[in-house]
Structure 1
């Protein structure tokens, strides 16, 4: 880590590259729920990119390559840069031409070696049943959409109202469960605040809730400031938001407070996966990512390696954690070996710089 505060551009580059690196680090040891088997196959501590075993998820791929989540992040990032902003039609066209054309509806197929439940369902409705975009989302409760929104969080970090609106719309392309959408938008708001240069601390949620009360973020505020009771009369409902509860915004600071409390310890930190849950659902993944980022802050290597070594859905955990810690510490907090070993690193660094330049 460095004592010099990172610039906006450095935070933007760190956030995007952190997401890509977290994804690629977990490519080999992805989805080991038997931790003894994970240690047997990859040793006591994974420290770098690894080849997937041929008989497991992503078999045949090589260390440093990206899963399908990284591929989709590529499509959205390239679209944002090329269009100088989010154009849903352009992104959907890329999904149709560059991804869906390579899928067959089965899990062990397609770019990245595995296709998620969420993308398979969208592919089925879009390709087999010929539904238009806007009518092809499913009920998967995973972080599938959240794994691509770091690009949006960077591009619209300085426009939090636009960020929330566009992340909600982008999520709705493939997932329509409102709890999933609320938690995904909340994660994007937290990440966007870090890219802007705000801290990940016990006040993060308060700052975001202030935006809710101002009408900037689309969440419903149940109370007034702090623990004050809500006002009587029509004012009480005037600020009702798209999402009925602000709890998704409150989660980050609650977990950061626990991560920084000396009386609450998860040792070693990779066991956050056991505390918050190893499966794929959003209510397991986001809390673990907030915990690791809150505990390690700009110590990118420690946070991401603990995310990977926790097993289960470690790819999403590492991707989400990597984006948060990359934003906190900036690109300079990411070890060179993680950049040098990542496929397409030069292109992705260039995209990150362009996103930062276009963010106004």
Structure 2
């Protein structure tokens, strides 16, 4: 029998896959008039990309490369029983890099992201080892796959932070990107455990920061006894300068739930926080939609999609958050049925959910 925890865990994974597939057709329209001319005033389901667009050749309900890499990560988790960095890297070498050539418009899903092109260049073309192939892309590309790790480690935030930050650093080495990706993953883990996405979302996590159990430096924590005054001690990758990535999401959620602070219609969150790909545009929009539509998966992901720009990433991140709150049972059946290989993927998601439930 599937528990509520398992339903939420599977819902997060399916929500992300659905968000990715919803974005395949209308991806990267920065001119909203062009978006509406192509798909009408409101996109309500999976669509086929127009000729000449980024994912040309895919059918409605199929996945972009982001969904492909999320599924690769999910398979590694399911088959290894948890996060195994060596296995993940081996799968990238064996199953992914041979399918791309380092150019943008190539490979599974029809488009290869910036971070993956750089990792390919350093790993395949220059022969560098894993650990030396990360680049400076300031995007959500790592977040779109590590969310699966966050679900698997939902009951162990310390492990989640360690595994997510480590996997992120394989392809994206900017510390701010790492902090915001890790914070998102930790929040997702809280939702899988049954927490609501509201103004208190960061409270429990901040408690763990103050206890030294998460890799965020608490700048207001009293100096440790016996540690002399002087410059900050050096930190390694995955140890972040401040906990603000955890704190900020609570303020965004508070604003989204405040009746005096309204963005109408909600898809215009993309105009408020920005349409581009950078993580500091994408995360706030996803947090706003997750708080506002915590019980309405359809509204959440469709407002993410109809905002244009990098709507695919916005829908992936939002879909995972709201999917974690409503569970698979709260996702409209048409989104599951219309997703390519839906039953195979649902089975994979439930397998990871069952492992997560065991801790």
TM-score bracket, normalised by the shorter chain, equals: over 0.9
Give the drift of 1:116.
0.6
> What is residue 84 of structure 1 aligned with on the other side?
81
Give the drift of 1:306.
0.1
Matches within 5 A, 1:20-59: 20-59=17-56
SS in 2 for 1:45: coil
> What is residue 9 of structure 1 aligned with on the other side?
6
Give the drift of 1:252.
1.1
The 1-side partners of 2:20 and 2:29 are apart by 15
> What is residue 319 of structure 2 aligned with on the other side?
322
Give the drift of 1:99.
1.0
Give the drift of 1:94.
0.9
Is 1:247 aligned to 2:224, yes or no? Answer: no
Decide which of 285, 288, 298 is 1:288's aligned counterpart: 285
Give the drift of 1:207.
1.4
Instruction: Please identify runs of 4+ aligned residues in structure 1 that moved more than 2 A.
Output: 230-238
The 1-side partners of 2:298 and 2:155 are apart by 27
Give the drift of 1:346.
1.2
> What is residue 227 of structure 1 aligned with on the other side?
none
Give the drift of 1:199.
1.5
- Give the direction of change, closer, same or farther, for the CA distance of 1:181–1:232 in structure 2 (3 Å limit): closer
User: Could you give the per-residue CA deviations for residues 250-280 of structure 1, whole angstroms, max 9, x where no partner exists?
Assistant: 1110100000111111000000000000000
Give the aligned CA root-mean-square deviation in angstroms.
1.6
User: Could you give the per-residue CA deviations for residues 135-170 of structure 1, whole angstroms, max 9, x where no partner exists?
Assistant: 100000000000001211111000100000000000
SS in 2 for 1:112: helix
Matches within 5 A, 1:199-348: 199-224=196-221, 230=222, 234=226, 242-348=239-345
The 1-side partners of 2:105 and 2:74 are apart by 25
> What is residue 166 of structure 2 aligned with on the other side?
169
The 2-side partners of 1:47 and 1:221 are apart by 43
Decide which of 101, 106, 110 is 2:98's aligned counterpart: 101
Task: Give the TM-score of the pair, scaled to structure 2.
Answer: 0.95
> What is residue 113 of structure 2 aligned with on the other side?
116
Residue 205 of structure 1 contacts residue 253 of structure 1 at CA under 8 Å; is this kept in 2? yes
> What is residue 351 of structure 2 aligned with on the other side?
354
- Give the direction of change, closer, same or farther, for the CA distance of 1:214–1:311 in structure 2 (3 Å limit): same
Matches within 5 A, 1:176-187: 176-187=173-184
The 2-side partners of 1:231 and 1:136 are apart by 36
Task: Give the TM-score of the pair, scaled to structure 1.
Answer: 0.94
Give the drift of 1:232.
7.7
Equivalent residue pairs, number = 350
> What is residue 145 of structure 2 aligned with on the other side?
148
User: Could you give the per-residue CA deviations for residues 158-216 of structure 1, whole angstroms, max 9, x where no partner exists?
Assistant: 01000000000000110000000000000000000000111211111111100101122
Give the drift of 1:231.
5.3
- Give the direction of change, closer, same or farther, for the CA distance of 1:176–1:232 in structure 2 (3 Å limit): closer
Residue 23 of structure 1 contacts residue 69 of structure 1 at CA under 8 Å; is this kept in 2? yes
Residue 298 of structure 1 contacts residue 326 of structure 1 at CA under 8 Å; is this kept in 2? no
The 2-side partners of 1:95 and 1:231 are apart by 42
Unaligned runs of 5+ in 2: none
The 1-side partners of 2:247 and 2:241 are apart by 13
User: Could you give the per-residue CA deviations for residues 93-139 of structure 1, whole angstroms, max 9, x where no partner exists?
Assistant: 11111111011111110000000111000001011001011110000
Residue 68 of structure 1 contacts residue 112 of structure 1 at CA under 8 Å; is this kept in 2? yes
Is 1:136 aligned to 2:133, yes or no? Answer: yes
